Structure 1
């Protein structure tokens, strides 16, 4: 009986060691309405890391097929620092509130389509305020260089981004034209 317990412990330690390497500083989830093939997602990650430099490290995740449930799970889980979605999805989520204002990072007048009126403040007595919550990536050099040719996408910082400053740093690179 003792050897079974020891064997179980060894298996557990071995499996725990197979974690796939160190976690990246900034995780990005991108989901166009047509989905995104794995080879494009990998190219996006490689290209973005080259543009960002050694630090912060980035990981780009997507799904080959668009699925509303997948999108909801990814956003609710809060594992990603940045989320990139079609305009209709971005606006629907932004109007619910709780997004990170980007007014301190970008001029709202430079990205008027990313400005949304949303509830801000106390959950019981929210005030409606207009802020820049998303950056349209239609002119993004990163998307163009990666071979993406679909609809315009909007990038926003997840409110539970583990490293907010690094997420904003990467967003500035994504927005460059």
Structure 2
């Protein structure tokens, strides 16, 4: 199709805007058009999508207009034999590239999880990091814990890394992974940043630590931000404010920066099958 509009106007950007800004506007409009198409299938959204893809390609140093005959001649011989329009196929992958990426990440994660369930030794204890953290390998932390904790022989450490610096689609995939971690019910202790701690604590995801305050010598003043009133699942005996997490950011287990992140709040998951070990692990973090 012939495009007469200004690509800057189509994307709502100005000359001189960065590639990241062009990417951001493209993603916003792509998502908007997808919603419009789902809400009104009869509307001619495909034209808008083609214009959007064209404008994006032009501003990112990509395509120029070619005649239909030129496009056919330049198409892959295999695609021509199959009767597939190469331009439309390219537009499809370009428009849905993020969705395809997310699907691949989810499939790989599920496949890895299934494979792990089949091949790995069942862990004695499971820890998961959820929040704005950075790490490349959890083996050093695992070895540090096992060297000091004789109660367990095998530990599983997993996580969902949620950061504002992440690509939005990667963050979405990590949010889906966090849902899997909470839904599977295998994790004993979560370590979270403050934002994610409050989010999940208010959903009733963690056990009250009130009963072990004295045992672990927990400083309530220092951890006052983690004393919350949780409505979900509370009965008359548990109503009110309770301590659901403790600040372990200064734990010596994290002193070598194996897991980097400003906030580390430890909380025992309500579905843990190893409560006593969970309490011992909190004690190890605090010592």
TM-score, scaled to structure 1: 0.74
Q: CA deviation at 1:96?
A: 2.0
Pair 1:114 & 2:236 matched: no
> Kindly tell me: are residues 108 and 56 of structure 1, through their superposed partners in 2, closer, same or farther at Cα, counting changes over 3 Å?
farther
> Kindly tell me: are residues 164 and 143 of structure 1, through their superposed partners in 2, closer, same or farther at Cα, counting changes over 3 Å?
same
Pair 1:74 & 2:181 matched: yes
Q: CA deviation at 1:69?
A: 1.3
Pair 1:151 & 2:262 matched: yes
Q: Distance in 1 between matches of 2:144 and 2:257?
A: 7
Query: Which residue number in structure 2 is paired with residue 44 of structure 1?
Result: 141
Pair 1:61 & 2:183 matched: no
Cα deviation code 1:105-154 (max 9, x no counterpart): 224615223222212534xx797411111111211111113533322121
Q: Distance in 2 between matches of 1:160 and 1:170?
A: 16
Q: CA deviation at 1:21?
A: 4.7
Q: Which has the higher strand share?
A: 1
Cα deviation code 1:145-171 (max 9, x no counterpart): 353332212111111111111111112
Q: Distance in 1 between matches of 2:151 and 2:120?
A: 16
Q: Distance in 1 between matches of 2:284 and 2:196?
A: 22
> Kindly tell me: are residues 45 and 146 of structure 1, through their superposed partners in 2, closer, same or farther at Cα, counting changes over 3 Å?
farther
**Which SS does the other structure have where 1:31 is aligned?**
strand
Q: Which has the higher helix share?
A: 2
Structural mapping, 1:1-177, within 5 Å: 19-37=118-136, 39=137, 41-55=138-152, 57-63=154-160, 67-106=174-213, 107=218, 109=220, 110-119=222-231, 121-122=234-235, 128-176=239-287
Q: Distance in 2 between matches of 1:108 and 1:128?
A: 22
TM-score, scaled to structure 2: 0.48
User: What do you get for the CA RMSD once the two structures are aligned?
Assistant: 2.7
Q: CA deviation at 1:72?
A: 1.4
> Kindly tell me: are residues 71 and 96 of structure 1, through their superposed partners in 2, closer, same or farther at Cα, counting changes over 3 Å?
same
Query: Which residue number in structure 2 is paired with residue 14 of structure 1?
Result: none
Q: Aligned residue pairs: how many?
A: 156
Q: Distance in 2 between matches of 1:101 and 1:53?
A: 26
Q: Is the 8 A contact 1:81 1:167 kept in 2?
A: yes
Structure 1 gaps of 5+ residues are 1-17
Q: Distance in 2 between matches of 1:168 and 1:57?
A: 17
Q: CA deviation at 1:63?
A: 4.9
**Which SS does the other structure have where 2:210 is aligned?**
coil
